[in-house]
Chains A and B, each alone.
Chain A
Amino acid sequence: MKTRTLLLLAALLTASLLLAACGGGAGTGDAGAPGEERPFSELEEAARGTTVDFFVYGGDEAINTYVDDYVTPRVKKEYGITLQRIPLTDTADAVNKLLNEKSAGKERGTIDLVWINGENFATGADAGLWFGPWAERLPNAKYIDWQSPSVNRDFGYPVEGREAPWGKAQFVMIHDSAKVKDPPRNMEELEEWTGENPGRFTYPAPPDFTGNAFIEQALYGVASGFEPYQKPFDQQVFDENSPKVYDFLNQIEPNLWREGETYPESSARLDELYQNGEVWLSMSYNPQLAQRQLDKGLFPQSTRTYLLDGGTLNNTHYTAVPFNAPNKAGAQVVANFLQSPEAQIEKQAPEGWGDLTALDVGRLPEDARKRLAGSEGKATLSTRVLQENRVPEARSEWLLELEDGWRERVLEE
């Protein structure tokens, strides 16, 4: 019995070790992968009657509603596609999943289409996770200005047709005009303001997307604007400029909410604080968020949106198709629909999501152009104002270093 059990156990353990450790090293990047070659009509044909698994960040109920209540029935009706929205807590999880699948040699994955941009796209592209090119061949690509660097480069990284633009974001600040008559419009004013109003401001902790944006704006604000960060990463420049940001953030820390001992985990939490009146300023990548929440009765009626001096960050967000997507045809058809003028108009409606269009309004027919020109509302800014006060995002490499540094130099101090 003794020896037998021991042998049994030993055999089990060895078997599992072998199972776990055995290679199966999957192929590395698809250098020279041809991308999509079929004409779109063929894709529509192949996609009919199929299911598309769309992985989308699930933390914003408005986005979930837009996809579930508008997109899903429309693609069903027009293309016979059953769209399934799979919520993600963090888009990086999808990238991680794909990386795992690539390492394990899983040729047929579970993600057909994923909402993505920035660092996540770049990391995925470096690892050969994205199918493509395909995006510039979509019928609705005619409405996209693919020549614009804010479209063909995603946080500075070349897109090369591997993702299709879905919408645009611009960083804005939000204030409660009843409590804050003259909000701070640059970093110096912010420092002054937090000194006079301790505990009334905070920002989401990186790596939350909005939190990242805030420290990026701080970087532009205290360290010579946006130009240096459009170039490839330079350790020297970083070492010279990043301390200025960290020093600034540490300087204002004692006057932040909870004295900076903790930061809200996400922009949703920051909005909660703003809703409860605990902080008087908030921020968002969605210029229409304030209007939307105000209309829902969640934000106080005196909420207004404003921009920072020198312009605020703007970026494009996209949908991408993974290398092992089981339904590439369906994914492309859905991506094309998402880019259609009617879907974009519905998306920009402030009662719903309120996300800005990715389309070049100059290429649209008259009526569509009018409807996408920007909406009216006391807490919104006109499209012209937004466009005139834009700065590009820094390249991902700078941001990754900046976020890591924030953890070490600000959070852990």
Chain B
Amino acid sequence: MSERMKITLLLAPALLVIGVLFAGGLAAAFAQSLGYLPAIGMTEVNLDAYREVLGDGDFLDSLFLTLYIAGASTGISTVLAVLAALALRRSSGRLSAVVFQLPITIPHLVAAVGIALVVSQTGLGARLAAALGLIGSPGEFPALLYDRYSAGIILTYVWKETPFIALVVLASLRGVASELEDMARTLGAGAWQRFWYVVFPVISPGIIAASLIVFAFTFGSFEVPFLLGRSYPTILPVMAYNEYRDIDLTARPVAMAINVLITLITALFAAAYLRLSRELSRG
């Protein structure tokens, strides 16, 4: 058979699954966001849901919170990951691989529960503080859960995502960057010069690519903020879910509108990531 035919057949199952379950679901969400819900008698297509959502103060609050959590988590993870990778690049590959890969495999909910037990006002951290005489009662320990800075949520994401980014950076550091750096050293460059002029430019596309993935993922993530976050303001995916659960079914288009908006934003990041990784592989 021709190569084209072969390629089409090879791709067909995956495209079918993604096409029907994912694209189909999104298409249905889009249709419902336009108010098309024949099952409950709504057949008129309109933009009411979008108008309501975009004009709603709650939505904007949610959007900012989601951006903040995703941004803070990604930023902190990236910085820590680069530092960790730089610090550990010369250690035995196996050990650092295990240490870094453990959080990647652990489910988010486990990380959330564990970290909550460390940072809560009656958690491990608070008890240590009490043992050191720093606090007397749980109320004196800073509130890191259900708080306005979403500290618990961000800490959980940082714990989970830093190793992922660190592995990406490590891979890159041990590859080309290592050779270039050796060359620079023999040419007499100092540690800082080597880092800034040689190492950093080589690893930065990888860092950015990994950061984009982490940002997109945390932006759309549901479980951790649902467990550790406040009920108001809440992140966009949780807001969509709450609207979806509303016993008033006419709130359904609003839920779907939020879903569509989340999809657009994360798709943008997906596109940016792809473009970047294309350039990266070409370079």
Give the interface of A toward B (CB within 8 A). Answer: 1, 4-5, 8-9, 12-13, 15-17, 19-26, 90, 92-93, 95-96, 99, 103-105, 120, 123, 199, 205, 257-258, 261-263, 265, 276-278, 407, 411-412
**B39–A15 contact, CB under 8 A?**
no
Number of A-B contacts (CB under 8 A): 102
Asked if residues B23 and A25 are in contact (CB atoms below 8 Å), the reply is no
Task: Known contacts A123-B247, A278-B121, A411-B232; decide if A199 and B28 are in contact (CB<8 Å).
Answer: no
Residue of A nearest to B31 (CB): A21
CB of B20 closer than 8 Å to a CB of A: yes
B263 on interface, CB distance cutoff 8 Å: no
A25 to B38, CA, bound (A): 6
Q: Which of B78-86, B137-145, B183-191, B273-281 contacts A (4 or more CB under 8 A)?
A: B137-145
Contact in complex: A277, B27 (CB < 8 Å):
no
Instruction: Determine whether the beta carbon of B146 is less than 8 Å from that of A199.
Output: no
Interchain CB contact under 8 A, A407 and B232: yes
Q: How far is the CA of A8 from the CA of B10 in the complex (A)?
A: 13
B245 in the interface (beta carbon within 8 A): yes
Q: How far is the CB of A125 from chain B (nearest CB, A)?
A: 12
Contact of A261 among B7, B20, B148, B247 (CB under 8 A): B148
- Beta-carbon contact of A13 and B230 below 8 Å: no
Report the Cα distance A216→B173, complex, angstroms: 62
> Across the interface, which residues of B come within 8 angstroms of A277, CB to CB?
137-138
Judge whether A13 and B28 touch: CB under 8 Å. no
Known: A12-B19, A96-B245, A99-B249. A20 touches B24 (CB 8 A): yes
The residue in chain A whose Cβ has the minimal distance to the Cβ of B121 is A278
CB-CB nearest in chain B for A26: B39
Closest CB-CB distance, A81 to chain B, in whole Å? 30
Q: Is the CB of A262 within 8 A of B247?
A: no
B99 at the interface (CB under 8 A from A): no
| A12 in contact with B232 (CB, 8 Å) | no
Contact in complex: B20, A17 (CB < 8 Å): no
A411 (CB) vs chain B CBs: closest residue: B232
Q: Assess whether B4 is interfacial by the CB under 8 Å rule.
A: yes
B20 and A15 form a contact (CB under 8 A) = yes
The answer to whether B40 has its CB under 8 Å from any CB of chain A is yes
Asked whether B15 lies within 8 Å of A8 as measured between CB atoms, the reply is yes
